[in-house]
Each structure stands twice: as C-alpha cells, then as structure tokens.
Chains A and B, each alone.
Chain A
C-alpha cells in the first residue's frame, strides 16, 4: 500500500500541486484550460449544444465541489481534478495502438490524437476518471499539462507554465518537477502535507493536493476593543456638503 507523499523516483516528473486551502472554486483554471487548448495546437475541445439545456463537451480539468460533514457542521471542498500524470500510469500499457503514452523526459502522459482509434480502453483503466472521450472527433482526450506551452521558447519565462496555473487568482496551483527536491512544488508537498487522491489505486499519481486547513482565527478576547481609542468616530469627521468635489469638476452634468 502506497502512502501519501512525494514520489521517490529521480526521473523528471512534471506535475501540478493544488492547494485546496486556497481554492475558492471559481473555475478559472477550467475555463483558461479550455481557452488555451481550444486555441492551441491540440485543436478544439468539442462542445455540443454549449448554450442549450443539455450542454456536453470535453474538459481536461473540472472543478468538483463537495460538502463534508453533517449540517450545520459542514465545510465545502472544491476539488479541481485533471490528469494526475501517474508515475505508473495504468492507461498507458492497455492502449492497443500506443496512442496513450508517458514521456520519459518529463513524465507527462499524453494521447497521440493521430494514433487513437477511440476504443475507450484507456479511460476504463484510469482510476480517476480524468480522460474524456470526444465523441465528435472519436478520440480520447486529456490534460497535456500544456506541453505545447511549457517548452515554447517564444513565450516569456513566466508564461511557460500551464494555463490553469497562470489563471488561478488565488495562486492555489503550483507547477513543477515533483521529483526534484529543490523545486517549489516538491517543497510545498513536503512542508504543507501534500497528499494524493486515492493513493490505494497503486497508480502512483504525480499530481498532489495540499490539504484544507482549519479556518478558525485565533483572536484574543480584547483584540477587537484594544485599539478603540485609535478608531475614528463618525461624528469626528466633518463633511462639508457644499464644497466642490473632483466629481463635480469631471462630471458633465
């Protein structure tokens, strides 16, 4: 049985580390993923009836939301879930054509769209449900960790990161080599209790999650009253209603 923690392989393994304590469930990562990958080299991520009653389509990344506990003692967990780029990816050996592959140089699991025959076998082999079948194009699709972006020398150094990582407004997503002890991603896993989803799967996922932590604020009893003297009382502020303000000058009417 494997235990949560960073992988012990010394080969390069790029992955995402997602801080569930920071994630607010805004879906910016999912939308930016769709935006980048639809306009990038991988071709459109199919949408069927996107504005209708039954929208259907391919997403590499979905933010799922859960309620933990019994009302009223509940907390909300937003779980962005995309391909885990498993170290022992079970989707790779089952592929009859070799379309499902794991790159030796950086550990990214990819689908060769030109080789895929659309048999769906790889999606059955994935314990996380992170592969989505495009029934319009007839091929399996999944997160590529923005492989067409992270090595693009025409982009600024800052932009050579997955679209979802750049888009996250709370900085909940870290990207890096999780097998490199010096990387920011690995450091975060070590220092903030990074774990993997369903470690019992044996697939050895490379993506890690940083756990939700207690949101209680420890305030001393007198903290709210201690600086009362420093507070400005409303009556102390003099407001001259007749004075000309900047707004009067700039506004036309």
Chain B
C-alpha cells in the first residue's frame, strides 16, 4: 500500500501520547497508594507533552481528509466504522487528559484526578485500539488484518512514551529510585514491543494468500499476464495499492526501525539500569537522547507497516507478492488443496 504520511504521523504521535498519558496516570496512582512521591511539575509537563503529541497527530490527520471542511461528519457511523470510533475517541481522550492536567496544575483532589485520569487513560488505549482496528478490519490486506496490528500500534506508542517519561523526570531531577523504576518499565515495554514486532514480521512472511490471479479473473487454468490495464497511464488503483520503491526497501527498513526503536534503546536503557543498580548513578539525559531516535524508529515502523500491505485488488494489475508456502497454522486445511 502507498504510505500516507499524514496517517503515519497521526498514528505514531497519538500512540506515543496515549502511552505517555497512561504511564503518567499509572505513576500518579503509585504515588497515591504510597509509593515513591513524584514531582508534580514532571507530571504536568508529561500531560502537556501527551496532549501536544496527540493534538499534533490529529492536526496531521486533517491533511489526510480531502474534504477537511466535512471532518465533523466523521463521527456519524460509529456503530459500524472503526474510523468513526477513532474520530470520536480522539477528542474524548484529549478532553479527559486536559481535565486531568488542569486538576494537577491547580493541585485539586488527587483521588478525583485519578478517576478522571483513569477514564482518559482508558480512552487513550481505546483510541489506539480503534486506530489499529481500522487496519485490522481491512480484510483484503492480509498484512493488516491480524491481531498484531492494534497490539503493535499500542506497543509502538508505549515504548517511546516510557522513554519520554524518563526524559521528563530526568529533567526535573527525579530521585535515583524513580529513575531506576522508570528504566525498568521502559526496558520491559520496549522488549515486549520488540518481541511482538518480530512476531508480526514473521507472520507477514508466512502469509498464505488463498486468492490468486486465476481465481480473481475466473480463468482457472494457465499463466496469466496483463497486457492492458485499462488506462493510458497510472490510475488511482495502481498508485494507492502498490509502492514499488518501498517494496524494495522493506528489508533494510525492518532492520533500521528495529535498531532505532528497540535494539539501541534496550541496550542504552540496560546500561542505565546497570549504572543505577551498581554505581547508584544514572546516565544523565539518556531519555532525552533516546526519544528522538525512538520516534524516528516508530515513524519508520509505521511507514513499513503501510508498504508491507498487499491488497487483493493488485491481482487485477499483476502486482502481487508471489505465494509463499502455505502456513499450516494460519491457513485452514481446505485452502491447502491445489486449485488447478
């Protein structure tokens, strides 16, 4: 599929915002039940960051809509469309996050703030799930129509979100024990994200596409090649559903985004963890250094997500990934019989 930069920015920035806000509310809860006291300024800056990132993402999403003046219509069919659900959840998340941030700023009752924050955090996760479900429900793109899609959308938001929180607390001079715990959380979330992303890469490589060009055309026998696409030049169909230049870059981008988003951060955070637990001294500004790297890795990951998608309609244009060997786990037995 053709990568749409407005959607890449929307899903990545909103994902990081949701992850960051969820962790802030989680931290505030630990503070409330008697854990380590957290700096109020750091939490406020974190909330502003989460709201800012999500708002930036939403602003970017407007550039995807060809008819921006009709954007308010996008909520209407929330009963059936995940896109409408995403459009409805985004303002909900922003409203509750803003209320929570305001409560923190004016130093209002912490328990009430936590309830508002929890609603916001749940709305944030729901927003991430809705973003992912938009793609999971496109059943003619097998690389998207699987449960890894929403899970990865969430986890790719959580990993940079946790590092952003580490950077903010680092800036406000958090105690070593807080930094240590945040480093632990960041390593854990990034590692889980990496494992899930690797699983999803493996899944994409093993996809068995039961549809083929013979079935698409109803010509059951014989090799088929297209000699006329029905257009003198490119069409929407040849541009939107296939990205030849991107397809050539899948392997290097996979390695690049794994390094930037997961491997290098896990290594650096691991060093920070060792430094903290052995010498009781954190590596200063490690979060601030890692966050831009992870954000660029997340953007590359989302670009890859789009480029890796193969749409069924490409069958009619002779552009399709060659069938890989049937995967007995993901393929029902009835599809294994030879067709021709």
A67 touching B235 by the CB < 8 A rule?
Answer: no
B67 touching A118 by the CB < 8 A rule?
Answer: yes
**Cβ contact of A118, chosen from B66, B218, B317, cutoff 8 A:** B66
User: Taking A66-B226, A67-B227 as contacts, is the C-beta distance between A119 and B83 under 8 angstroms?
Assistant: yes
A96 touching B76 by the CB < 8 A rule?
Answer: yes
A211 touching B227 by the CB < 8 A rule?
Answer: no
Report the bound CA distance from A97 to B314 in whole Å. Answer: 27
Report the bound CA distance from A53 to B87 in whole Å. Answer: 40
B223 touching A124 by the CB < 8 A rule?
Answer: no
- Whether, in the assembled complex, A95 has its beta carbon less than 8 Å from a beta carbon of chain B, the answer is yes
Scan B135-146; emit 1 where CB is below 8 A from any A CB, else 0: 001111100000
A124 touching B311 by the CB < 8 A rule?
Answer: yes
B67 touching A81 by the CB < 8 A rule?
Answer: no
A232 to chain B, nearest CB (A): 42
Scan B119-137; emit 1 where CB is below 8 A from any A CB, else 0: 0000000000000001001
- Whether, in the assembled complex, A64 has its beta carbon less than 8 Å from a beta carbon of chain B, the answer is yes
User: Taking A96-B76, A98-B77 as contacts, is the C-beta distance between A200 and B211 under 8 angstroms?
Assistant: yes
Report the bound CA distance from A150 to B240 in whole Å. Answer: 32
B316 touching A139 by the CB < 8 A rule?
Answer: no
B315 touching A198 by the CB < 8 A rule?
Answer: yes
| Chain B residues, Cβ within 8 Å of A132 | 235-237
Q: What is the total number of residues of chain A having a CB less than 8 Å from a CB of chain B?
A: 61
Report the bound CA distance from A54 to B234 in whole Å. Answer: 8
A94 touching B82 by the CB < 8 A rule?
Answer: yes
Find the B residue at minimum CB distance from A94.
B81
A205 to chain B, nearest CB (A): 11
| Chain A residues, Cβ within 8 Å of B78 | 96
- Whether, in the assembled complex, A5 has its beta carbon less than 8 Å from a beta carbon of chain B, the answer is no
**Cβ contact of A120, chosen from B228, B233, B240, cutoff 8 A:** B240
**Cβ contact of B228, chosen from A65, A90, A195, A201, cutoff 8 A:** A65
| Chain A residues, Cβ within 8 Å of B1 | 124
A162 to chain B, nearest CB (A): 18
Find the B residue at minimum CB distance from A119.
B65
| Chain A residues, Cβ within 8 Å of B140 | 90, 124-127, 201
Find the A residue at minimum CB distance from B65.
A117
User: Taking A55-B232, A94-B82 as contacts, is the C-beta distance between A68 and B223 under 8 angstroms?
Assistant: yes
Find the A residue at minimum CB distance from B82.
A94
- Whether, in the assembled complex, B216 has its beta carbon less than 8 Å from a beta carbon of chain A, the answer is yes
Q: Which A residues between 88 and 138 are near B, CB-CB below 8 angstroms?
A: 90, 93-99, 115-121, 123-129, 132-133, 135, 138
User: Taking A117-B67, A119-B83 as contacts, is the C-beta distance between A94 and B137 under 8 angstroms?
Assistant: yes
B139 touching A128 by the CB < 8 A rule?
Answer: no
- Whether, in the assembled complex, B71 has its beta carbon less than 8 Å from a beta carbon of chain A, the answer is yes
B313 touching A128 by the CB < 8 A rule?
Answer: yes
Task: Write the residues of chain B forming the contact surface with A, with a CB cutoff of 8 angstroms.
Answer: 1, 64-67, 70-71, 73-78, 80-84, 87, 134, 137-141, 210-211, 215-219, 221-237, 240-241, 311-317, 334
Interchain residue pairs A-B with the least CB separation, the first 4: A118-B66, A129-B313, A138-B66, A62-B230
Known: A54-B234, A66-B226, A117-B65. 18 other contacts (CB 8 A): A4-B218, A59-B231, A65-B228, A67-B227, A68-B219, A81-B230, A93-B77, A94-B81, A95-B81, A98-B76, A99-B73, A115-B70, A127-B140, A129-B311, A132-B236, A138-B66, A198-B216, A201-B211
Some 23 contacts from A to B, beta carbons below 8 A apart, are A56-B235, A59-B230, A64-B228, A64-B229, A64-B230, A67-B224, A67-B225, A68-B223, A70-B222, A93-B77, A94-B80, A95-B81, A96-B74, A96-B77, A96-B81, A96-B84, A97-B70, A116-B70, A119-B65, A121-B81, A128-B312, A135-B236, A199-B215
